[in-house]
Amino acid sequence: MLQPAIDDADPFQFLGHQGEVADLIRKHDWSKTPLGGVESWSSSLKTATALLLQSPVPIVMLWGEQGVMIYNDAYSVFAGHRHPELFGSNVREGWSEISDFNDNVMKVGLAGGTLSYRDQELTLHRHGYPEQVWMDLAYSPVPDESGKPAGVIAIVVETTERVLAERRNREEAQRLQNLFEQAPTFMALISADQQRFEIINPEYRRLIGDREIVGLPFAEALPEVAEQGFDKLLDQVFASGEPIRRTSERVMFRWSKDGPLEERFVDFVYQPIRENGQVTHIFVQGSDVTERVRAENHQKLLINELNHRVKNTLASIQSIVTQTLRSVQSREEASSAITARILALSRAHNVLTNENWDGADLHGMVESALEAFQQEGRQAITISGPVLRVGPHAALSIALALHELATNAVKYGSLSGSEGTVDIAWNIDDHNRFKLKWTEQGGPQVIRGDRQGFGSRLILRVLPRELQGTAEIDFPPTGVVFELETSLAAISDRPLMEQI
């Protein structure tokens, strides 16, 4: 007796797979689609459907001129909220927002051609709203029994997370590059891979004679410098994890291939950078101090002053980085906070540089420190006080403290809204006592927190210690009030801030 055909017993026997999409295929009313009932499907259509169901990679098949969509479980995840309504629909209507793109896919695929895209950017409505996505796409025709293309099969690999991560990395690298570009001292970043230069700034390029060295190992980029033992210093920092500092170090540079060696003197630091306990990079920072070193007795005082300033500036930057990293939760937060604080220090440096580091007008220093926090269209910050010149040490200390107060006000205080204000005022009393007061009004009520971060330590512990005075902060309902009091002598010219 003849056995019944397998398809007569179960028309879906060809699927050979269990899963959500396989169940959809069994339940779907295919008679309402251009494909017709499953009993009428061609062998090629059944075989292609069975194959794509087995794949762990998102695959969708577009069958016939209309491009009826049959896909696997992995593609259903990619489809988001449009699944399962998308199943069995025509691709032009199913993905109406990219109908032109799919028109070309069908045209090329049914003509026997193939298409391939890497990180193709599209805007899809997978969750009820426009969403920018990136995908690797590969399209190829599916032949029928006669060898003629009857459909198109698409392999879809979403790359959105990788593309966005690469974009963030590029932006982060660009921010770091911008910071390097704006720095008044020479800077370089050297990796542990053959002491390879990753970034240099214009000041470093000027120091070495405008050579293109990014991507080159140290010994190849600066062979005459390596011969003087500086590559051994780098080895020592990578091995020990301890920074190395040099002051007025004699270095011979060859600014042209066959030119003579030129003598320069530099102050620099090799600062190790760790990841997971391992030293992966060395941050090089310093200044070309040749003219200072060569000067006669008249310049020796300037040399000592500049040495002290450079070393303490480096200490301040290192301290800002170290303390910030201790008080943040993510790399992005650390990058943003470090950049903002170093730029605040840089703005204060610019004011002092314009005054040849002979002190600064306090009003101008405060304006520069708070310029970035002013709100367009209104005077959110007012500054008042008698004309007063302060020394570089006090100017930098006060500028950094005001930056922290303003940052906190933008996040939580009066500058977080459109109505709040900040008033900064100072005076000198009859006893030559200097008093500065920061007053916030019109913002949300601020509650004193239990946790003391970098900013709190700076304004309540470091600032009064550096200026030999007292500092207090209060949280009345009207807004934060901060007061600094010290002597007029204490805000005269002093060394830069010590380690925080």
Chain segment 50-107, per-residue pLDDT in tens: 999 999 999 999 999 999 999 999 999 999 999 999 999 999 999 999 999 999 999 9
Query: Tell me, what's the pLDDT at 496?
Result: 39
Helix (H) or strand (E) holding 119: strand 115-124
Which of 158, 179, 200 is the C-terminal boundary of a domain? Answer: 158
223-232, 360-369, 385-394, 413-422 — which one is most confidently predicted on average?
A: 223-232
Same domain for 119 and 24? yes
Q: Is 49 contained in some domain?
A: yes
Residue 410: is its pLDDT beyond 90? no
Termini Cα distance of the chain:
95
Query: Tell me, what's the pLDDT at 231?
Result: 93
Q: How far is CA 38 from CA 6, 28, 43, 86, 362, in A?
A: 13, 10, 11, 18, 84
Q: Which residue type, as a one-letter code, is found at position 10? A: D
Q: Is 319 contained in some domain?
A: no
d(CA 69, CA 86): 7
d(CA 147, CA 44): 10
DSSP symbols for 395-415: HHHHHHHHHHHHHHHHHTSGG
Q: Which of 220-229, 444-453, 477-486 is least confident?
A: 444-453
Q: How many domains does the chain have?
A: 3
Query: Tell me, what's the pLDDT at 4?
Result: 42
Same domain for 141 and 204? no
Same domain for 256 and 378? no
Helix (H) or strand (E) holding 312: helix 297-326
Same domain for 405 and 270? no
At 493, which CATH number? 3.30.565.10
Same domain for 240 and 142? no
Ramachandran assignment for 67, one of left (phi > 0), alpha (psi -120 to 50 degrees), beta (any other): left
Q: Is 307 contained in some domain?
A: no
Which of 272, 294, 316 is the C-terminal boundary of a domain? Answer: 294
Same domain for 130 and 206? no
Same domain for 399 and 485? yes
Q: Is 278 contained in some domain?
A: yes
Residue 7: is its pLDDT beyond 50? no
Coil, helix or strand at residue 208: coil
Residue 498: is its pLDDT beyond 80? no
Query: Tell me, what's the pLDDT at 6?
Result: 44
Q: Which residue type, as a one-letter code, is found at position 497? A: M
Mean pLDDT, rounded, of the chain: 85
d(CA 137, CA 154): 7
pTM, to two decimals: 0.43
Coil, helix or strand at residue 53: helix
Q: Which of 108-117, 357-366, 477-486 is least confident?
A: 357-366
> pLDDT tens-digit profile of 201-236?
999 999 998 889 999 999 999 999 999 999 999 999
Query: Tell me, what's the pLDDT at 342?
Result: 66
Whether residue 84 has a cis bond before it, omega within 30° of 0: yes
Q: Is 312 contained in some domain?
A: no
Phi, psi of 258 (to 5 degrees): -110, 10
Q: Is 373 contained in some domain?
A: yes
Is the distance from CB of 442 to CB of 420 less than 8 angstroms? yes
Same domain for 136 and 191? no
Q: Is 188 contained in some domain?
A: yes
Same domain for 38 and 82? yes
Residue 370: is its pLDDT beyond 80? yes
Same domain for 206 and 147? no
Q: Is 261 contained in some domain?
A: yes
Higher-pLDDT residue of 32, 393: 32
List Cβ neighbours of 67 (8 Å cut-off, separation of 6 or more): 90, 91, 92, 102, 105, 106, 151, 152
> pLDDT tens-digit profile of 122-152?
999 998 899 999 999 999 999 999 999 999 9
Is the distance from CB of 394 to CB of 491 less than 8 angstroms? yes
Same domain for 18 and 147? yes
At 61, which CATH number? 3.30.450.20
218 is in which domain, residue-wise?
163-294
Residue 330: is its pLDDT beyond 90? no
Which of 158, 190, 217 is the C-terminal boundary of a domain? Answer: 158
Same domain for 152 and 65? yes
**Residue whose C-alpha is closest to residue 207's, from 192, 191, 222:** 222
Which residues on neighbouring strands pair with residue 228, listed in sequence order?
Answer: none
d(CA 330, CA 323): 14
